[in-house]
Structure formats: C-alpha cells, structure tokens
C-alpha cells in the first residue's frame, strides 16, 4: 500500500478526521494537498463554490501535473455539546436553513468536488475518488444513545445516504474510463465524548467501543492505494460491527 507516487487532494483537511487522514496518507508516502475553507489549509477551498474548487484543482495540477486521488471529506456533522442547541430541534420542527446548509456542504459539495475530479481524471485517463460517509448513510439512528430530548438531526442521514449513491453513480458511469470510486463509511470516532455517551455507544457495538482516531487512516490508505485496484462502487464499512446487528 505504498503511496509514494500518489498525488492526493483531500477536502476538510484541517478538520478532526481530515488531520488523521492526512497523516496516514503522508506516512504511506503520498503527497497530500490538504484543502479547507480555513486560512490554515495548504490551499483554501470552499466545496460549495465551483470557482473555488476549479481554482484549487488548477493549482494542484500546475504544481504536480496530476491528481491521482481525491478524498471527499469536508462535511457538517452536528455534535452533541452544550452549545449545539440545534440538536434539540426535533424532526418536525427542524429549521429549513439548517437543512439547506447541510445539503449544500454534505451533498452538493461532494458532487461538485467529484465533477471537478472527473474532469481532470478523464484527461489523464485514470483516477480514484473516495467519498467519506457514515453508518448513518446506511442505517437509521438509535436516538436513545443521545441526550434525552434531543435527536441526531435528519440532515446528516439524508446527505450521508446520498454520498453512498454518488459513489455508485461515479463507479458505474466512469469505470470504463479508468476512474474508480468507493465509499469509506465510518462509525463513531472518539473525540472527547462523555462517558455516558461512550457507554451507550459501546453497548450498541460488537467491539464495545467507538473507533480511536488513529484507526480510520489505514482503511483510507487501502482505498487510495493500488491494493484496492479491483474495487469500485464499494462501501468499505469501518464501524466496529455497528451495522452487523
């Protein structure tokens, strides 16, 4: 799974998972261009802007001559903490503006990134697109693991489910052109979660715990490498067995 000759572009590279993904890809030898909306990113990129995406891809091509792998990772993931008041908005009252924001980033953003990636990969006659999704793109929620009176919001589910189908569209439409597309579906990854939540989450999972952040990089490296060269349209699920019940 040596990535020493791979040029990899990742969106959301400055985020929690993005940093672990970037580190894993770099340790495997890849040249990683971590993009994000924040000024701290190597290249600034707004996934909701076609002009921003095109400019970022132009910069990568100008410097490196190609893009081997694109990792669609930038997304809105509602967190449960004291400031996350929107999580208390039940489905029947969930604000339209929050729905639209998630659709713009989590679904339209992934699609716009994939469009630009395909344009470049058709020219070079090869490429690999990896769409990062969630178990909540393939199964419904157990709302009982969240604080009483709250819900994991609906926008997360409908957008993550759409990501899985985007992958299948790309795989079946562009496989004959040398372009692969796969989904990396993750279960919950630990990030300072409270004991009550982690205990409830662990009880729902055969391995009895959330993923450690260091455990998400290996599967991504596999999908980015030639070790997965006969995989396209697949959904690699890394969830500690959550969806096996």
CATH classification of the domain holding 55:
3.40.50.720
Q: Give the span between the Cα atoms of 41 and 37, in whole angstroms.
A: 7
> Percent of the chain scored above 90 by pLDDT?
88
What's the whole-number mean pLDDT along residues 143-168? Answer: 93
- Residue 194: strand, helix, or coil: coil
User: Quick one: average pLDDT of 55-59?
Assistant: 98
Task: Say if residue 145's pLDDT is above 60.
Answer: yes
DSSP helix/strand/coil, 242:
helix
pLDDT value for 150: 85
Cα dihedral 227/208/18/102 (nearest 10)? 110
At residue 57, the pLDDT reads: 98
Neighbours of 96 (CB within 10 A): 7
Tokens 């572009």 found at: 9
The answer, yes or no, to whether residue 159 has pLDDT greater than 80, is yes
**What is the DSSP code (8-state) at residue 210?**
P
Domain that holds residue 234: 7-244
* Per-residue pLDDT band at 82 (split at 50, 70, 90): very low
Percent above pLDDT 70 for the chain: 96
Residues 66-81: tens digit of each pLDDT: 999 999 999 998 766 5
Q: Quick check: is 128 in a domain?
A: yes
The Cα–Cα gap between 243 and 245 comes to 6
Residue 1 lies in a domain: no
* Within a domain: 2: no
Rounded CA gap, 138 and 156, in Å?
Answer: 11
> Is 168 inside any structural domain?
yes
Task: Spell out the residues 6+ positions from residue 189 whose beta carbon is closer than 8 angstroms to its own.
Answer: 16, 17, 210, 211, 212, 213, 216
* Number of other CB atoms surrounding residue 94 within 10 Å: 15
Per-residue pLDDT at 219: 98
For residue 148, is it within any domain? Answer: yes
pLDDT at 84 over 70: no
Say if CB 28 and CB 225 are below 8 A apart.
Answer: yes
pLDDT digit string (tens) for 16-50? 999 999 999 999 999 999 999 987 789 999 999 99
Kindly tell me if the per-residue pLDDT of 62 is higher than 80. Answer: yes
Please count the structural domains in the chain: 1
Would the pLDDT of 87 be above 80? Answer: no
232 pLDDT exceeds 70?
yes
């Amino acid at each position: 799974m040596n990535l020493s000759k791979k040029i990899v572009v990742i969106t959301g590279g400055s985020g929690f998972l993005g940093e672990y993904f970037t580190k894993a890809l770099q340790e495997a030898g890849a040249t990683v261009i971590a993009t994000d909306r924040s000024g701290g990113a190597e290249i600034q990129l707004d996934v909701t802007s076609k002009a921003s995406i095109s400019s970022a891809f132009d910069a990568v091509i100008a410097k490196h001559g190609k893009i081997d792998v694109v990792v669609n990772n930038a997304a809105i993931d509602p967190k449960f903490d004291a400031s996350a008041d929107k999580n208390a908005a039940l489905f029947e009252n969930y604000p339209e503006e929050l729905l639209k924001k998630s659709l713009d980033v989590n679904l339209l953003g992934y699609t716009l990134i994939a469009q630009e990636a395909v344009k470049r990969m058709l020219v070079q006659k090869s490429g690999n697109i990896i769409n990062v999704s969630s178990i909540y793109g393939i199964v419904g929620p157990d709302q009982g693991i969240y604080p009483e009176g709250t819900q994991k919001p609906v926008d997360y589910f409908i957008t993550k489910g759409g990501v899985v189908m985007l992958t299948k569209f790309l795989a079946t439409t562009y496989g004959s052109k040398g372009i692969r597309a796969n989904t990396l579906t993750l279960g919950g990854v630990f990030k300072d979660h409270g004991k009550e939540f982690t205990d409830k989450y662990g009880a729902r999972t055969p391995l009895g715990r959330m993923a450690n952040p260091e455990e998400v990089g290996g599967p991504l490296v596999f999908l980015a490498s030639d070790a997965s060269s006969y995989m396209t349209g697949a959904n690699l699920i890394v969830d500690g067995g959550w969806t096996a019940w």
